[in-house]
Amino acid sequence: MAGKAIKDKSKYKRTSEAVEDAGSRGQKQKKQKEERQKAQPAGELKLQVRKLWEVLRRGDLDPEVRKAKMSEMMQLLEGHIRDITFKHDMSRVVQTCLKHGNDEQRSQIASELMGMYLDLSRSLYGRHILMRMLKYCPKYRAEIIKSFYGHVRKLVRHKDAALVLEECYAVYANAKQKWDLVAEFYGNEFAVFKNTTKSLDAILEAAPHKRDTAMNSLKTTLVPLLEKGTVQFSIVHRALLDYIRYADAKDRQEVIETMRELVVEILHTREGAHAGMLCLLYGTPKDRKAILKSFKPYLQRVCCEEYGYAVLVEALDCVDDTVFVNKAVLQDICGMMNELLNDQYGRRIPLFILSGRNPHFVGSDALKVMADSDSIKAQTSKKDPQVRRKELTSFVSARMVQWATENASKAIFDSLPSQAVNETLLRAHGDKAAAWQRVLDLINMDIVQLGDSHVLLNAISNRVVTNCIIAEHTQPRTADTSLPPLPETNPRFGTDVLQALVDSDQLVAAACAGAFPVRALLESPVTGARTKQLLQPHKDRIAQAMNNASKKRVFEAILQQL
């Protein structure tokens, strides 16, 4: 045992010596590395800066300590920022200084780098510094943007510089600066002589003879980008939009054929979505099908895009092959109906199918593009708009009615989903009795007990009930002539509401609570006479309720009818 113990101690001794030797080698290698770094240009400075940066970059550093360390760092860097900027580790140091420095220190960095902005944008590491300068040095943004003038067409094809150019154009540039950047796509004349206008529209209106020159230059710039698939930048989207709007039919068709698989990648900007809408309008049936097929893997995301939804709306408004639209788009939309109807933008797709170009559901930008493009649609789409609308509505109606039946009891009180309940009850095809019964069940609940949370008194839900009552005798007003009349199979909305209030003995209570649906019942030619007969004996009670109410308008309207 003793011999074994001695053997073990010997083993431990050798292991300890090995660790010591390894430690010595590690320290030796570290020392050699530091000596190599010191031998490099500004090597001693870089070592000092890195050690200080390790402290400065900590997130838990005391503000006063950080302030002192920043002063120490700027003293070290003064006059040397140009020399160290393009190195990976030193780039991180400058970025940290821009993040944590005060205005004076940031300005010191930006001023030392003046004249190098273009080179920084092309650098794998320098572009990060330029991004931080755009964020933290507002006084120098104009100089950074100005440094790109004359180089935009080259920068947009550079993998690093394009990201900085996009940041400038999409986030920080004003309208004039945006034009000065994008104008270089239209030819050398625009690159050299900065025009006072801010759009190609204004230039071509004043000088129509420049259209061919501008289109040829645009095509030369855009085609390589389309072939490489690099169309994600908003400055490219604006150029694409102008080309599709002003190019002749043959050249426009060539570009649409090239980019039809890429439309899905440009929908996140206003100009990109507009260009996508025009691709659908000008495109052949084959182009339209290819564009819609490319949406399929990203359909929910496209529906819920702030601008992207408008391209789908345009597709629903112009594609003649509704059977294909159903298979490519609507079947999937029906499968995600609940998510869409609870989304600010996603709900616009099913509601457009039911309600057409309703400004309550479709954004003003999309409506303007659609209205301005109706002349194009008249040439490229042959199907009658009312026939298209009926076919699309028939595809989604069953799912919309199912959704309303399952969700009406809660959705009717929510501002966005309540609109879907309203439009489904009024315009969807098929049997809506079960969905309507959910609303009648809410009407039967005790008004006195629920107060303002009752369906007839809630500020959101009472509009749905009121609209349904009016729709029993009057077609809703709409600017969209493609909308067919309301289905004849709709429930007798007003009659059912009145009967529900009579059966639950709550008509008088609803009138005394100032319910807007009661006013609608009185004004309806279908229910007015009976409602008046039932309420006239209680006119004094309603007048007393008005005297105790803060808002008297609806009471006055009810009493006027009585």
User: CB–CB of 464/515 below 8 Å?
Assistant: no
Residue type at position 421: V
Between the CA of residue 231 and those of 199, 216, 276, 331, 516, what are the distances in Å?
A: 20, 19, 12, 29, 52
Sorted by sequence, the CB contacts under 8 Å of residue 232 that are 6+ apart come out as 265, 266
**Rounded-to-integer distance, Cα 156 and Cα 146, Å:** 15
d(CA 41, CA 44): 8
List the pLDDT tens digit at each of the 562 positions of the chain.
444 444 454 544 555 555 455 556 667 666 655 555 555 555 677 788 888 888 888 888 888 998 898 898 888 888 888 877 777 778 888 899 999 989 999 999 999 999 899 999 998 888 999 999 999 999 999 999 999 998 999 999 998 999 999 999 999 999 889 988 998 888 877 666 566 667 788 878 877 888 888 889 888 989 888 888 888 899 999 999 999 999 999 999 999 999 989 999 999 999 999 999 999 999 999 999 999 999 999 999 999 999 999 999 999 999 999 999 999 999 999 999 999 998 999 999 999 999 989 998 899 999 999 999 889 998 999 999 889 999 999 999 999 999 999 999 999 999 889 999 999 999 999 999 999 999 999 999 988 888 889 999 999 999 999 999 999 998 888 777 778 888 888 999 999 999 999 999 889 898 888 889 999 999 999 998 999 999 888 888 888 888 877 777 888 888 888 7
Would you state the pLDDT for residue 561? 85
Q: What is the distance between the alpha carbons of residues 134 and 220, in angstroms, rounded to a whole number?
A: 30
CA-based Rg of the chain, rounded to a whole angstrom? 34
pLDDT of amino acid 42: 56
Strands (DSSP E) contained in 350-480 are none
Asked if residues 479 and 357 have their Cβ atoms less than 8 Å apart, the reply is yes
Tokens of 327: 């298979």
Domain boundaries, the chain: 43-147, 411-561
Using H for helix, E for strand and C for coil, what is the string for 361-380?
A: CCCHHHHHHHHHCHHHHHHH
Half-sphere exposure of residue 217: CA atoms within 13 angstroms, side-chain side: 19
Answer whether 315's CB lies under 8 Å from 288's CB. Answer: yes
Q: What pLDDT, on the 0 to 100 scale, is given for residue 186? A: 86
Instruction: Please name the residues in contact with 457: beta carbons below 8 A apart, sequence gap of 6 or more.
Output: 447, 450, 451, 510, 513, 514, 515
Query: In the chain, helix, strand, coil percent, each to 5?
Result: 75, 0, 25
Alpha-helical (H) ranges within 42-174 are 43-56, 63-77, 81-84, 88-100, 103-112, 117-121, 126-136, 141-147, 152-155, 161-167
Supply the pLDDT for residue 194.
Answer: 63
Pick the closest to residue 292 from 335, 249, 321 (CA basis). 321
What pLDDT sits at residue 197? 67
State the burial class of residue 321 (Cβ atoms within 10 Å of its Cβ: 0-12, 13-18, 19+): middle
Q: Are 237 and 271 in contact (CB under 8 A)?
A: yes
- H/E stretch holding 221 reads helix 211-228
Of 298, 280, 282, 281, the closest CA to residue 290 belongs to 280
- What 3-state class would DSSP assign to 390? helix
Residue with tokens 């900007």: 269
pLDDT at 2 (0 to 100): 44
Which residues 6+ apart lie within 8 Å of 366 measured at CB? 273, 277, 309, 310, 313, 314
What pLDDT score was predicted for residue 483? 83
pLDDT attached to residue 82:
83
Residues 261-264: contacts with CB under 8 Å, at least 24 apart: 261/290, 261/291, 261/294, 262/226, 262/229, 262/231, 262/294, 263/291, 263/294, 263/311, 264/291, 264/294, 264/295, 264/298, 264/302
Residue 431, burial from CB neighbour count under 10 angstroms (0-12, 13-18, 19+): middle
Segments in 229-360 forming alpha helices (H): 234-246, 249-259, 270-282, 285-295, 299-303, 309-318, 322-325, 331-335, 337-341, 348-355
Tokens of 66: 């950080």
